[in-house]
Amino acid sequence: MSKRQILAWGLGAVALVLLTAGASALITREVIESKKPAAESASVVAPATKQKITWNEPRRQAPPTPPPCNDGNIVGKVVGGLGGGLVGSQIGSGSGKTAATIGGAVGGTVLGGEYIPTENVTCR
């Protein structure tokens, strides 16, 4: 495999990771914005008398809040691992190629978990 092919594969993998990160960040932002509660406002104006006002309406309870969701940024880790493994597989030959693939996958997983913004995408 020539250096040009290795460079092309590496740039393609980086482009794939960046494209996926951008799309998942957009999806994450839309999911977060769709879960924002609508603001409720109500006001009561009492007459200017010394009359006691009694309300017989029961109090409304707030809906229960769902438990917090944390998916551990699994999407970012998987995408990073796949990209790192792909880049690592283009380096070396024989058992060195296997070691480079494993090292690339591990490094990509760590970097993908840190730098690809896909936290809580799998939470629904």
Q: What is the mean pLDDT of the chain?
A: 76
Q: Is 53 exposed, middle or buried (0-12, 13-18, 19+ CB in 10 A)?
A: exposed
Which tops the pLDDT comparison, 86 or 117? 86
pLDDT of residue 121: 72
Rounded CA separation 42/63 (Å)? 17
Q: Average the pLDDT over 68-86 and give the result.
A: 85
